[in-house]
Amino acid sequence: MPATRTPRGRRPYRAPRTAVTAAVALLLTAALTVPAAHADPPGLTEDSSPPVRIDPNDPDLRMVQGAKLAPSKVLNIKSIVETDDGSERRQDTNDNVTFSLQAEVLFDKDSAKLSSDALSRIGSIAAEIKKQNATRLRVFGFTDNLGSASHGLVLSKQRANAVQQELAKDLGSSVSFQIRGYGEQYPIADNGTEAGRKKNRRVEVSFPRAS
């Protein structure tokens, strides 16, 4: 495309600096936008209070003219480790440690009776709880969206109860439990596929991180 010629004596047109700055800011905002994650069940909300106060009028704080600081918040650093077959998942955040076990490795289909393989897996979680000196545990049960919602709520609570009772055998009376059955609420994967539904059929054991 040929270059645009300007009349002699006139300077080529340049976009105002403020307009260019605004365009760059919009592009950065779009690039840094992260899709919203699935909501966490009650009791798992992470702390987002700001760690320090920043003075927006500090002369050493260099900002584009007219720009303002956004409200400060703590970035929640999340680490997830999952077994190759996806049957067990550990998630560490700033405030919580969460173990997620797929229902298939704990129970038979539509059952709340623990399998023999489940006992060793729950025992490993109990060992980590002792290592972290955790005394307040949450045991939450979840299902996929197949079947009736009412049946899912009952089954997920029964399964959470079964895992809690096994943990209590190892941990004793010094640990308190919060037990919930959420059924198909709070999925972590797509219920439109069997692979996703398999991940959603799970029991989670979580506790606050050791300070």
In this prediction, residue 146 carries a pLDDT of 94
For residue 19, name the pLDDT band (cuts at 50, 70, 90): very low
Query: Is a pLDDT exceeding 50 seen at residue 20?
Result: no
How far apart are alpha carbons 154 and 163 in whole angstroms? 15
Write out pLDDT tens, residues 3-14: 445 445 555 445
The residue-averaged pLDDT of 176-202 equals 95
Write out pLDDT tens, residues 76-110: 678 889 888 888 999 998 889 999 999 999 999 99
Query: Is a pLDDT exceeding 50 seen at residue 25?
Result: no
The CA-based angle 113-111-118, given to 5 degrees, is 45
Query: Is a pLDDT exceeding 80 seen at residue 24?
Result: no
Write out pLDDT tens, residues 159-188: 999 999 999 999 988 899 999 999 999 999
- Residue 65's φ and ψ, nearest 5 degrees, are -55, 130
Q: Is the dihedral of CA 184, 189, 195, 200 positive or negative?
A: negative
Lowest mean pLDDT among 4-13, 114-123, 128-137: 4-13
For residue 112, name the pLDDT band (cuts at 50, 70, 90): very high
For residue 117, name the pLDDT band (cuts at 50, 70, 90): confident
Query: Is a pLDDT exceeding 50 seen at residue 51?
Result: yes
Query: Is a pLDDT exceeding 90 seen at residue 50?
Result: no
CA atoms within 13 A on the CB side of 87: 10
In this prediction, residue 37 carries a pLDDT of 41
What's the per-residue H, E or C state across the chain? CCCCCCCCCCCCCCCCHHHHHHHHHHHHHHHHCCCCCCCCCCCCCCCCCCCCCCCCCCCCCCCCCCCCCCCCCCCCCCEEEECCCCCEEEEECCCEEEEEEEHHHHECCCCCCECHHHHHHHHHHHHHHHHCCCCEEEEEEECCCCCCHHHHHHHHHHHHHHHHHHHHHHHHHHCEEEEEECCCCCCCCCCCCHHHHHHHCEEEEEEECCC
How far apart are alpha carbons 169 and 141 in whole angstroms? 19
Query: Are the C-beta atoms of 139 and 179 separated by less than 8 Å?
Result: yes
